[in-house]
Amino acid sequence: MSKAPHRFQDVLFSLSDAPSSLMALPIAHLTKGRWFEVIVDQAKLEPQPDKHFKKNILYFFYGGVFYRPRSQSYEEEIELPIAFVFDPSALAGFSHFYPFDTGAMLSDLFKGWRAKMPDFEETFKVNGADYTVPKRMVYHLFGDNEQYLLGRPAADLKTKPDPLPTLFDFLRDNLTVNNTDQRQYCIECQAVTPLAFDRSLVWIGYPEYYTSVFLRLLEKLKPYVPQTHRYKTSRIFNPRELAARLEDRAREAVIERYVSQPRIP
């Protein structure tokens, strides 16, 4: 009988805590204009059915607007991307974390690696419920936030218990021939309960076309006003390119101040 693989979670929690000087990062969710009005009316993000995990899940990425729609041009405004960034305190309502994008793995974007990680759903799942869990993942996989956002795993992963050497090889593998993006090394955050709009919502990036809907959201948030970025677009647009711009704007406006905090001696 073959030996069952070690679970990433068990190894992760056998290692030391992340230092207090390592700041927890915000989390980001990308959606489409077609859903914006419903989201604003509900004043929350709702988990949606997931056919693989067979439950309703709300997906976020840790540290940035990393999700990318497929590369295709549109004229319909309902395809325009909208990004929400929440303070790390929102992670209290999250249930699971993964050290890569599970959707990209399931769609075989990481060609060959799904076969090498046949039970990745369990092997690499980390139970959550607070902001320290992904912070611990960053510390042991990358060393610090800057290296995490650059996608540079720590070399000493090769010397740590299984399955960390396998994870190191995956994180370091050059998969650009498959048009793989940064989701190869970005921490996925999964929630199974709604995430309400409150003061944990720190930034919104939205298209000028949906300004009236955004103003309705501000009415619901009064007197609190999150940071915002309103963008213009041409008649024909590519949501993938716009999402990349939203990532840059969110990092400049919010995320960078979490990354660049001076270390506590």
SS3 readout for the chain: CCCCCCCHHHHHCCCCCCCCCCCCCCEEEEEEHHHHHHHHHHCEECCEEECCCCEEEEEEEECCCCCCCCCCCECCHHHCEEEEEECHHHHHHCCEEECCCHHHHHCCCCCCHHHHCCCHHHHCCEECCCCHHHHHHHHHHCCCHHHHHHCCCCHHHHHCCCCHHHHHHHHHCCCHHHCCCHHHCCCEEEECCCEECCCCEEEEEEEHHHHHHHHHHHHHHCCCCCEEEEECCCCCECHHHHHHHHHHHHHHHHHHHHHCCCCCC
- Residue with the two structure tokens 């056919």: 51
Closest by Cα among 185, 188, 88, 66 to 132: 88
| pLDDT at residue 2, as a whole number | 40
Residue 43 has pLDDT above 90, yes or no: yes
Residue 35 has pLDDT above 90, yes or no: yes
Mean pLDDT of 46-64: 95
| pLDDT at residue 120, as a whole number | 94
113-130 confidence digits (pLDDT tens): 999 998 999 999 999 888
Residue 80 has pLDDT above 80, yes or no: yes
| pLDDT at residue 230, as a whole number | 98
HSE-CB at 156 with a 13 A cutoff on CA atoms is 5
| pLDDT at residue 261, as a whole number | 59
151 pLDDT band (50/70/90 cuts)? very high
159-194 confidence digits (pLDDT tens): 999 999 999 999 999 998 888 889 999 999 999 999
| pLDDT at residue 124, as a whole number | 96
φ and ψ of 31, to 5 deg? -135, -175
| pLDDT at residue 33, as a whole number | 97
| pLDDT at residue 177, as a whole number | 84
231-252 confidence digits (pLDDT tens): 999 999 999 999 999 999 999 9
Cα–Cα distances in Å, from 214 out to 41, 85, 206, 235?
Answer: 11, 15, 8, 20
Residue 47 has pLDDT above 80, yes or no: yes
| pLDDT at residue 5, as a whole number | 57
Mean pLDDT of 134-139: 96
Residue 264 has pLDDT above 70, yes or no: no
Residue 259 has pLDDT above 90, yes or no: no
| pLDDT at residue 3, as a whole number | 46
